[in-house]
A = this chain, B = another copy of it.
Amino acid sequence: MIGMKACGIIAEYNPFHNGHAYLLKAARAQSGADALVVVMSGNYVQRGEPAIVDKWHRARTALQHGADLVIELPFIVAGQPADRFAAGALQLLEALGCETLAFGVEKAANDFQTLLAKISSDLVLPQFEVDYTKTYATQWNDFIEAQIGHRIEQPNQLLALSYALANRELKSPLKMLPIERIGVAHDAVQSSDQFASASTIRRLLLSNQLDQAQRFVPYGLNELGQRWMSWSDFWPYLHYFLNVSSPDCLSSIYQMSEGLEYRFWEQNLQSTSFDDFLKRVKSKRYTYSRLRRLALYTLLQTTATEMKLDSAALQPVRVLGFSSIGQAYLHDVRKTIAPQLITRVTAELGKRDGVLGTQVRVDRLIEQVTGVEQNFHQRVLMMT
């Protein structure tokens, strides 16, 4: 089939739930695309923690419930602040030949469309002064409020805004297709019959309430392996690393600046758990997500050099799995799209510097914690 059209989706599927299945279905219907191409975060997610289950379990559930192609959003994108996360993900979808970007928003309403229009034309982004009394996110929202008359408090809407901003930087911008989320607000405690946010489901899984969580996902929860990862798996290692480090050593970590190395070093000494540590380092200036990501960079000895994003940095692109439609799409576009696509990480590829080397390196901690190989001996998922 020549000339297949693809709709791109940026996801974490942490874990995959009914809301995600709904979005895939709506995207297929509303985009008119032949294939749904998902770029999905690997083993680490944007809020600076491990995904609750590994990338293979998550990719499989997505392929079983609507995705045609699952591409790994590598750590150097998936672990970034929102603006770089959006930029890397959009670059990847553009490179993969997607025409449309479908994304969920809390309200796919007029004001968002107005904002999108504004963004695609004349909006000049501000450079914020360092302000130690407000987080970056708050300053952002102050700016948005000045543009559209009210604040955007919903996290998915903020993320969608980042997508729109990143999209206008592309050579061939994608068509933006906002799809209204159904179910509940992102962090609501109350849940409808079938829909709950991923964070609600994670809370249920981590507190071992599988019966409660089951109705929110379109598969048996036992398919996820029932080995939930969280920062509590990593805390002993971060605590050790900070215990034997010095503030000087920490200053070479990606985004460790403005004296945060001293704060991290000092507060670690008294901390008894990761939550305790995070509360101790929190200040008005930084959000919890920023600090969690910084803790993750520290744990993974992440440097600015390896996190530098440019078009070359994202190659080779890793295919985690595909349906028969996804396979046809790959076959169709392999010759026309730019990036090198791989379905297997060889030892040789894994040793190189760059996106795959970093991925293999950060995944080793997941392998140490779970005992499950993440790269070399994993086969691409074929749901054909």
Interface of A with B (CB < 8 Å)? 236-237, 239-241, 243-246, 249, 269, 299-301, 361-362, 364-365, 367-368
Top 5 A-B residue pairs of the complex, sorted by shortest distance between their CB atoms: A243-B364, A237-B240, A244-B301, A244-B300, A243-B368
Contacts of A244 in B (CB 8 A): 299-301, 361-362, 364-365
Taking CB atoms, residues of chain B closer than 8 Å to A243 are: 361, 364-365, 367-368
Identity of the chain B residue whose Cβ is nearest the Cβ of A241 in the assembled complex: B241
Smallest beta-carbon distance A359→chain B, Å: 12
Starting from the known contacts A243-B364, A249-B301, 15 additional A-B residue pairs (CB-CB under 8 Å) come to: A236-B236, A236-B237, A237-B237, A237-B240, A239-B368, A240-B240, A240-B365, A243-B365, A243-B367, A244-B300, A244-B361, A244-B362, A245-B301, A246-B361, A269-B364
Count of chain copies:
2
Residues of B within 8 A of A269 (CB): 364
Partner of A368, one of B240, B249, B364, B368: B240
Which B-chain residue is minimally distant from A299 (CB atoms)? Answer: B244
By beta carbon, the residue of chain B nearest A353 is B246
9 A-B residue pairings within 8 Å (CB atoms): A237-B237, A243-B365, A243-B367, A244-B301, A244-B361, A244-B362, A245-B301, A246-B361, A269-B364
Bound: A292/B368 CA distance, A? 22
CA A240 – CA B367 in complex, angstroms? 10
Collect the chain B residues with CB atoms within 8 Å of residue A368's CB. Answer: 236, 239-240, 243
Provide the bound-state CA to CA distance between A35 and B243, in Å.
38
Cα A362 to Cα B245 in complex, Å, equals: 9
Rounded to whole Å, the gap between the CB of A353 and the closest CB of chain B is 9
Residues of B within 8 A of A237 (CB): 236-237, 240
